[in-house]
Amino acid sequence: MTHFKTLTIAAGLMAGTALSAQAQELQFIMCGGEVRPADQKVIDKFQADNPGVTVKMEAVEWGTCQDKSMQLAAAGDPPDVAYMGSRTLRQLAKNDLIVPVTFTPEEEAAYQPGVLKTVTNGGQYWGIPHAFSTKALYINCTVVEAAGAECKAPATWADLVTLAKTVTDNTDAAGIGIAGKDFDNTMHMFLDFLYSNGGKVYNDDGTPALDSPQTRETLQLYADLLPYMESGPTEWERDQMKDLFNDGQIAMYVSGPWGEGQHKEKVPNQIIAPIPAGPSGPSGTILITDSLAVFKGTGNEELATKLAKALTSGEAQYDLDMTWGLTPILDYEKVGMTDVFYKKNNWPVFVAGISTGGPEPMVEDFKSLQAVFTNMIQGIMLGEGTVDELVTQAGVELAAVR
């Protein structure tokens, strides 16, 4: 009898242990304020395929999301996985808050050129890219034609300045919208032009490269465009430009592929063109990714990685890219897909810049990096220095960024 009771108790304990092992809750912070239907579909299937596993989603606006994830991790209460800007990964890795990721050779080969560079540091991958954007020039043809100009893509910076001037001189609209607010996309927009002029932020060996002729030419472009920008450019960030563009208050601005849908109703007469080439390089773009980071010390690292891989697998990622209007993060033809969406309409413009684009720099202190660019850009907009002085100072500031 005693033996029977012991077996029964042992069996009960084992059953309880099994139930405990199966009943796992993954805490998932999603930056951006919403969970996309394509992601939710994968999460629902993941929960169905893994009985006892619950994925608790928390969608947080970009303005506070990344700080929240990092602060929770630093306080010893990390989420299991977070979707956040790849720019944060180096800081998280340096502080031993996230786990490295491995890819098979086949997985590596499927990514578009340059994508994995955005998550690489110290020879390791620190996140799984989940959203990819390149940029192009949007032109409101109704505004341009009202200025008496032909609505065609400016091929060079000189053409861009000429068109912006024509619009400003002959309409009530500004020729171009340029971001100058203390915000990350102010740096991003500048890098769109710097990478369209053969410029770099860092050399391949990691040494600073911002103090260069190419950067001076890019900042001079901003100085040349200043009379034709929206009023008070230091008060505007890129996402606010879409409303100015839709209302016919600016003729041009730079944005990602999602812009076409944002403008389609109010600006049916628009063209989307490559960012004009500078005097020292071909047309390019910044290559930006947001990634899934798996946090350390949760006890759920393996399961969280499994979820992250499911969200970024071929079909799931394709669904997200297509429905969200993202530059394709994978070369989907390499994974056997045909009739891919990005061969049609305006997509080739956004794909063409990948090969000549440059990555968003990965540093430990990305806010200090952002400040380097904001100081330089606002300096030229507010007349606080010459091009040479401001670029020289930016080079000094960049050298101090970790």
Return the domain boundaries, the chain: 17-133+288-358, 136-284+363-399
245-283 per-position pLDDT tens digit: 999 999 999 999 999 999 999 999 999 999 999 999 999
pLDDT in tens, 156-194: 999 999 999 999 999 999 999 999 999 889 999 999 999
Q: What dotted CATH number matches 17-133+288-358?
A: 3.40.190.10
Tokens of 336: 């056997």
Residue 4 has pLDDT above 80, yes or no: no
- C-alpha to C-alpha distance for 252 and 137, rounded to whole angstroms: 7
How distant, in Å, are the alpha carbons of 109, 185, 241, 261, 283 from that of 350? 20, 18, 19, 14, 11
Whether 17-133+288-358 shares its CATH topology with 136-284+363-399 is answered: yes
What's the pLDDT tens digit per position in 119-138?
998 899 999 999 999 999 99
What confidence score (pLDDT) does residue 23 get?
81
Best CA proximity match to 294, nearest among 99, 129, 120, 124: 99
Q: Are 304 and 295 contacting, i.e. CB atoms less than 8 angstroms apart?
A: yes
What pLDDT band is residue 197 in, cutting at 50, 70 and 90? Answer: very high
Fold (topology level) of 136-284+363-399: D-Maltodextrin-Binding Protein; domain 2 (3.40.190)
